[in-house]
Structure formats: C-alpha cells, structure tokens
Amino acid sequence: MILALLIVVTLINVLVAAGFSLAGVFFPGFIVRDGEGSHTAKVFALYGVARSIPLLLAVLWAAFRADLPALIWLGLLAGVIQLADAAVGTQTGDKLKVWGPLGLGIIQLVGVLLAFWFGA
C-alpha cells in the first residue's frame, strides 16, 4: 500500500515537472512572459528538460521494479527539486509558480517520510 502511494505521488511529481519543462520548449510564452520565439527562453526550458526527463525515466524504472529504496531516494530528490523550484518561483512575482511547486514538494516529502517510516 505505501509503495503504491509513493509510486503515484512520485510519478505525478515528475510528470508535472517534465510537462512543465516540455511546455517551456514548445510554448515558451506560457512559461515566460514575452518568451514566445525567444531563444533564451527555449534554452532555459531545455535545461529543465535535461533534468526532468532523466528523472522521469529513473522513477519509471524504479516503479516498474517496485524498488522501494530507489523510490525513496528519487522521491526525496524530486521533492527537493520542487522546493527549489518554489524558491525560484518567488523571483517571478507569479504566486502559482511558488505555491504549485511548494505544495507538490511538501506532498512528495510527506510521501517519502511515510514510505521510510512504514515501508517494508
């Protein structure tokens, strides 16, 4: 049960991160004000893709194998990344870019703690 919870929470987390990064590549105007057609906005989005897609693949692999220790570590990493994204979001003036990652990061870290305490 706890493994399934950790898999679901972690997959949602990394899918949101990957989706946000990919949206920045294909629709930079949604992510950065006046970013449509901006080479700089696209490059920064590609940096996000470069970290989020490998993390997504690692989580998918660990979920497929039902590897609780790997999911705990990957979930911890994904949660910390979301908290860092929330900190970056404070520089944008957009509350959604703060509260979204902050909420997702907290949920992720609670899931990791539960899995660590109650996991088999």
For the stretch 77-94, pLDDT in tens is 999 999 999 999 898 888
Which range among 3-17, 52-66, 73-87, 89-103 shows the weakest confidence by mean pLDDT?
89-103
Look up residue 3 and give its amino acid. L
Helix axes 68-89, 2-26, angle to 10 degrees: 40
Averaged pLDDT, 51-58: 96
Cβ distance 77 to 107 under 8 Å? Answer: no
- Where in the chain are the domains? 2-118
Taking CA atoms, 52 is separated from 1, 46, 70, 78, in Å, by 26, 10, 17, 9
Averaged pLDDT, 92-119: 92
pLDDT band at 96 (very low <50, low <70, confident <90, very high): confident
Averaged pLDDT, 40-56: 90
pLDDT band at 120 (very low <50, low <70, confident <90, very high): low
pTM score: 0.89
Residue 27 φ then ψ, to 5°: -135, 65
